[in-house]
Amino acid sequence: MALLPALLGAALVAAPLVSLVLMAVSGGSDALSTLAGSVLPDALRQTALLLGGVALLAGTIGAATAWLVTAYRFPGSRVLSWLLPLPMAVPTYVTALVYVELLDAAGPVRTALRQAFGRQVSDGWFPEVRSLPGCILLLSFVLYPYVFVALRASFLGREPSIAAAARVHGASPLRTFRHVALPLARPALAAGVTLVLLEALNDIGASEYLGVRTLTVSAYTAWLERGDLVGATQIACSALAVVALILLVEAASRERSGFAASAAATARHEPAPLDGWAAGSATLACAAPIAIGFVVPCAFLVREILRRDLVRTMSPAFPAQIGYTLAFAGAATLVVILWSVAIGIAGRSRPTRLARAFGGLAGFGYAVPGTVLVLGLLPVFMGADGLLSGAITAVSGYEPGLLLIGSGAGIVLAYTIRFMRIGTGAVAAQFAQIPVEVEHVARTLGARPRALARQIQLPLLRPAVAGAALLVFVDALKELPATLLLRPLNVETLATLVYGANSRGLFEDGALAALLIVLAGLGPVIWLTRATRVRATAPGDRPARAPQAALRADPSSATLKAASV
Amino acid sequence: MAEVSKIVRAAFAAGILLAGARTATAAEVVNVYTNREPGQYSATLDEFTKATGIKVNAIFSEQGLAERIAAEGEKSPADVLITVDIGRLQQAIDLGVAQPIRSAAVDAAVPRNLHDADDLWTALSMRARTIYTSKERVPETALTYEGLADPKWKGKVCTRSFQHPYNTALTAAFLVKHGEAKTKAWLEGVKANLAKKPSGGDRDVAKDIAAGICDVGLGNSYYVGLMTNGKNEDQKRWAAAVRPVLPTFENGGTQVNISGAVIAKHAPNRANAEKLLAYMVSPEAQHVFADVNYEYPVRAGVAVNPLIAAFGTLKPDPMKLSDVAKARKRASELVDEVGFDR
């Protein structure tokens, strides 16, 4: 019985993956589809280059800015440390659309350059934004906050005393960073970079728009543009292999490191003041990523909203569409949280290896790109729908049609699979902070499991659960591929509105919906930043709050995910 | 706040949906899956509802609709799939999601060559694959598709991805016309002439010509009308900078593609689906295709919009659309083989 919630979760995630593999091998024994055969080599190459580039660039930006705002004091450093995570709130497809508008050959920037310097001078050297390097650059400026958040928490948590010792012994700040702080923070860096990699692989909106044919994009177009389902599933399986590889490397890097669970901070951190040139450069270095990743896209959206008067001319259906968006995301959040708590509490009473394995599998859904997930889910949903409506018809004679997809439950289930790990990760991390003796004492005093859950476990979990709920909600709000392909008739969400406006060649008309998605995403980012700061100002003397707990207990990708958007 | 209460109501409505209640089937409805732009269509669909009392439920997505109907199987709520491009219609038929239309109204209104031989699809409108040219820099007004590979255009050609259905259909038509070797050479020639990597949509081609990035590019006829008379000031400027030319194949006509419809195999409201199609080919709806969408109507006697008529008289190439549809897969492979989009 204790295994049941985890088992169900694992089955839910496994079903689409199994169906995907079955479809991929359905062509026969030697059957790599011609399409997959011709597309795969290039897709693998582009995926590798994209992931490598984004890991390097986002890793560098995240690590450098995290170190700067933690170790030094310079004009604006406090404010900047608050603002640096903001780009996380902008969906990658929005960033890509905005920068293509701005930097494309016919966009305002290059037009101005051309007018000022002539065509030869301006167009010769200006890099094409719709390209692999362009995609690496844009994704990095959206995704670096994953690294920033992980590293900042890590630097704040354990760096001061050790780094201070290094400084006392005469190491320069740069040397301290390279030889002390960064190696100590390696697990956090690995966790942050892993998230960046998974997000980059999952991305379809930005990559496709920028003309980068990753595995995810190739699987999508093979299926929907070229009608090759088997080829598409074969490409999708290669994407799954990449996911598995990323997770393995991350796990291995964590095992090699002896510091993962090391010392909590013992001293308050004292940033070293900078002045003159150094201070100016530091301010600039931290302000630039915020400007590129957040301010420019938001300013563009606001400008388009005003210029096109989108608020006043809003479609009468818009409020209802916001309602659908909220309902789907809300329902998914509720399911994820209830389920995660059930898995957590059940595993608490009997923490077997099997329970952990199921829990791990339930979390794998987060790493599966949304497009790939839909490919595997459709047959599963249809099978389930067939059984379900067959049973209903047999009992009542009523013919209910397609329940899962027709009702929108399909979308909620897809979100649940995608984002379950956020919930299970947060619950597991929070439980890891609570000595199991607490429950033992309660049990000794005669508390039955239900009372134990209600009076002890649930209250203890509340902060973690609140944070995770916020994160699931916003991720669900942004989700595009599954929503697009699984929504019922007459239903649009904010994300599909942005997509629809863009596929009409009128992306600017979707600016209001895009800005609402960004604004909704700000909530969790602010929550996250605050939670990280609480840890910095009061180390050790306060019960751990959710994201710190998540980061401290197990800085694996998914628990970090629990602490980020 | 009326908006807030609407949001709350919609959230509740969605909640009820989630609880498993099915959308009411008591009233007369027709369920439409479409990748046509909903903005342009809603007027036609509203008129249909006004005329017949049949409510139209729609789902819009650029891609994946035929695949979804196929996956939904027997219980699919889809009645009608309306899509653009003969290749996508053929794809729907290959997936087995269509049933014969058998409508006297459709038969009477739509010429035989714009119908499937087995009545599985019908065209609703036509569009020409034109070449947008710079008014400033390109004096020629008679162009051929073959000519796009002429080295005189080196560094002057723009296009969207050649894996996009509009260009796949053009390549497939080329294949039907000239065979594999010549098609491959043509693709290589056009690729060598590109001013930039294939990207964006047809509107972006006009944008790039307006900005002086290129001089000629492929684009569908109707975008010029949509941009000229749309609300977007930038796009008006782009449209004003280009002169669309109706190109031909050497010794042939212009490559014409269609928007069209199929009736879903398991359509729960089949009769209403037929009524909708009959309405779509009626003079009223065909006028909307012509004057709101700037397409070529399929019904004889409905005039082309003057803005489109100004391109010249459309002389469609006589090749069969079904042959184009069949050649599409090979065309798409050839595009990969020459690495056109890379």
**Structural domain tally of chain A?**
2
Which residue, among A140, A93, A131, A102, has the nearest Cα to B199 in the 3D structure? A131
Instruction: Tell whether A292 and A352 lie within a shared domain.
Output: no
pLDDT of residue A552: 38
pLDDT of residue A252: 79
Instruction: Tell whether B248 and B219 lie within a shared domain.
Output: yes
pLDDT of residue B205 exceeding 50, the answer is yes
In-domain check, residue B117: yes
Q: For residue range A193-208, what is the model confidence (pLDDT) as tens digits?
A: 988 998 899 888 889 8
The highest-confidence range among A156-170, A374-388, A460-474, by mean pLDDT, is A374-388
In-domain check, residue A70: yes
pLDDT level of residue A330 (50, 70, 90 thresholds): very high
CA distance B158 to chain A (A): 12
Instruction: Tell whether B318 and B203 lie within a shared domain.
Output: yes
Q: Inter-chain contact B200–A130, Cβ cutoff 8 Å?
A: yes
Q: State which residues form the domain around B232.
A: 127-255+314-337
Q: Inter-chain contact A378–B333, Cβ cutoff 8 Å?
A: no
Q: What is the CATH number of the domain that holds B76?
A: 3.40.190.10
What is the overall mean pLDDT for chain B? Answer: 89
In-domain check, residue B174: yes
Residue B32 and residue B57 in contact, taking contact as beta carbons nearer than 8 Å: yes
**For A408, which of B17, B64, B72 is closest by C-beta distance?**
B17
Instruction: Tell whether A111 and A148 lie within a shared domain.
Output: yes
Instruction: Tell whether B96 and B205 lie within a shared domain.
Output: no
CA distance B90 to chain A (A): 10
Which of A1-5, A451-455, A494-498, B329-333 is the least confident region? A1-5
pLDDT of residue A258 exceeding 80, the answer is no
Say which residues have a Cβ less than 8 Å from residue A546's Cβ, sequence separation at least 6: A426, A429, A430, A463, A464, A465, A466, A467, A468, A531, A562, A563
Tokens read off for A117: 């310097």
Q: State which residues form the domain around A124.
A: 32-257+270-307
Q: For residue range B108-149, what is the model confidence (pLDDT) as tens digits?
A: 999 988 988 899 999 999 999 999 999 999 999 999 999 999
Instruction: Tell whether A226 and A361 lie within a shared domain.
Output: no
Which residue, among B52, B64, B58, has the nearest Cα to A222 in the 3D structure? B64
- CA-CA distance, B65 to B88, in Å (whole number)? 10
Question: What is the percentage of chain A residues whose pLDDT exceeds 90?
Answer: 25
In-domain check, residue B18: no
In-domain check, residue A389: yes
pLDDT of residue A553: 37
In-domain check, residue A187: yes
In-domain check, residue A263: no
DSSP for A319-341, please give it. Answer: HHHHHHHHHHHHHHHHHHHHHHH
> Which comes out higher in pLDDT, residue A389 or B311?
B311
**Structural domain tally of chain B?**
2
In-domain check, residue B14: no
Instruction: Tell whether B60 and B209 lie within a shared domain.
Output: no
Q: For residue range A3-44, what is the model confidence (pLDDT) as tens digits?
A: 788 888 888 888 888 988 888 887 654 567 777 778 889 899
Instruction: Tell whether A253 and A365 lie within a shared domain.
Output: no
In-domain check, residue A24: no
- CA-CA distance, B148 to B200, in Å (whole number)? 19
Instruction: Tell whether B274 and B217 lie within a shared domain.
Output: no
pLDDT level of residue A357 (50, 70, 90 thresholds): confident
- CA-CA distance, A96 to A107, in Å (whole number)? 13
Q: CA B90 from chain center: how many Å?
A: 13
Which residue, among A322, A515, A520, has the nearest Cα to B3 in the 3D structure? A322
pLDDT level of residue B15 (50, 70, 90 thresholds): low
In-domain check, residue A262: no
Name every chain B residue with its beta carbon within 8 A of the beta carbon of A20: none
Name every chain A residue with its beta carbon within 8 A of the beta carbon of B3: 319
pLDDT of residue A310: 86
In this prediction, residues A467-486 reach a mean pLDDT of 86
Checking DSSP bridges between strand B256-264 and strand B98-99, what pairing results, if any? antiparallel
Residue A192 and residue A151 in contact, taking contact as beta carbons nearer than 8 Å: yes
Tokens read off for A359: 């829990």
What is the overall mean pLDDT for chain A? Answer: 81
- In order of A56, A374, A534, the CA distances from A409 in angstroms are 39, 14, 38
Tokens 């709920």 belong to which residue?
A: A469
pLDDT of residue B285 exceeding 70, the answer is yes
Which residue, among A361, A136, A367, A414, has the nearest Cα to A243 in the 3D structure? A367
Q: For residue range A55-87, what is the model confidence (pLDDT) as tens digits?
A: 999 999 999 999 999 888 999 999 999 899 999
The highest-confidence range among A118-127, A166-175, B1-10, B44-53, by mean pLDDT, is B44-53
Say which residues have a Cβ less than 8 Å from residue B236's Cβ, sequence separation at least 6: B227, B228, B230
Instruction: Tell whether B178 and B95 lie within a shared domain.
Output: no
In-domain check, residue B278: yes
pLDDT of residue A316 exceeding 60, the answer is yes
Instruction: Tell whether A277 and A384 lie within a shared domain.
Output: no
Instruction: Tell whether A120 and A212 lie within a shared domain.
Output: yes
pLDDT level of residue A549 (50, 70, 90 thresholds): very low
Tokens read off for B215: 């001089």
Instruction: Tell whether B135 and B74 lie within a shared domain.
Output: no
Name every chain A residue with its beta carbon within 8 A of the beta carbon of B204: 104, 106, 505
- DSSP class of residue A507 equals G
In-domain check, residue B120: yes
Instruction: Tell whether B179 and B220 lie within a shared domain.
Output: yes
Q: Inter-chain contact B197–A490, Cβ cutoff 8 Å?
A: no
pLDDT of residue B18 exceeding 70, the answer is no
Percentage helix, strand, coil for chain A under 3-state DSSP, each rounded to 5: 80, 0, 20
Instruction: Tell whether B37 and B153 lie within a shared domain.
Output: no
pLDDT level of residue B264 (50, 70, 90 thresholds): very high
Nearest CA in chain B to A35: B333
Instruction: Provide the residue type at A437 as one letter.
Output: E
In-domain check, residue A25: no
Q: Inter-chain contact A401–B22, Cβ cutoff 8 Å?
A: yes
3-state SS string over chain B?
A: CHHHHHHHHHHHHHHHHHCCCCCCCCCCEEEEEECCCHHHHHHHHHHHHHHHCCEEEEEECCCCHHHHHHHHHHHCCCCEEEEECHHHHHHHHHCCCEECCCCHHHHHHCCHHHECCCCCCEEEEEEEEEEEEECCCCCCCCCECHHHHCHHHCCCEECCCCCCHHHHHHHHHHHHHHHHHHHHHHHHHHHHHECCCCCCCHHHHHHHHHCCCCCEEEEEHHHHHHHHCCCCHHHHHHHHHEEEECCECCCCCECEEEEEEEEECCCCCHHHHHHHHHHHCCHHHHHHHHHCCCCEECCCCCCCCHHHHCCCCCCECCCCHHHHHHHHHHHHHHHHHCCCCC
Name every chain B residue with its beta carbon within 8 A of the beta carbon of A389: 75
Q: What is the CATH number of the domain that holds A393?
A: 1.10.3720.10
Interface of A with B in 227-246 (CB under 8 A): 227, 229
Q: Inter-chain contact B73–A128, Cβ cutoff 8 Å?
A: no
Instruction: Tell whether A69 and A10 lie within a shared domain.
Output: no
Quickly list H helices, A77-185.
Answer: 77-83, 92-103, 108-117, 119-125, 132-168, 173-176, 182-184
Name every chain B residue with its beta carbon within 8 A of the beta carbon of A330: 11
In-domain check, residue B15: no
Q: For residue range A399-421, what is the model confidence (pLDDT) as tens digits?
A: 777 778 778 899 999 999 998 88
Q: Inter-chain contact B76–A402, Cβ cutoff 8 Å?
A: yes
In-domain check, residue A472: yes
Question: What is the percentage of chain B residues whose pLDDT exceeds 70?
Answer: 91
Instruction: Tell whether A287 and A407 lie within a shared domain.
Output: no
Instruction: Tell whether B89 and B150 lie within a shared domain.
Output: no
Q: Which of B56, B72, B332 to mutate to test the interface with A (most CBs of A within 10 A)?
A: B72
Say which residues have a Cβ less than 8 Å from residue A355's Cβ, sequence separation at least 6: A2, A3, A6, A346, A347
Instruction: Tell whether A335 and A297 lie within a shared domain.
Output: no
**Intra-chain end-to-end CA distance of chain A, in Å:** 33
Residue B224 and residue B294 in contact, taking contact as beta carbons nearer than 8 Å: yes
- CA-CA distance, B287 to A376, in Å (whole number)? 42
Instruction: Tell whether A484 and A361 lie within a shared domain.
Output: yes
Instruction: Tell whether A299 and A371 lie within a shared domain.
Output: no
- CA-CA distance, B183 to B174, in Å (whole number)? 6
Instruction: Tell whether B142 and B201 lie within a shared domain.
Output: yes
Instruction: Tell whether B109 and B236 lie within a shared domain.
Output: no
Instruction: Tell whether A143 and A277 lie within a shared domain.
Output: yes
CA distance A223 to chain B (A): 8
Nearest CA in chain A to B30: A489
Q: For residue range A155-205, what is the model confidence (pLDDT) as tens digits?
A: 776 545 666 777 777 777 777 777 777 777 787 888 889 889 988 998 888
**For A105, which of B67, B76, B213 is closest by C-beta distance?**
B213
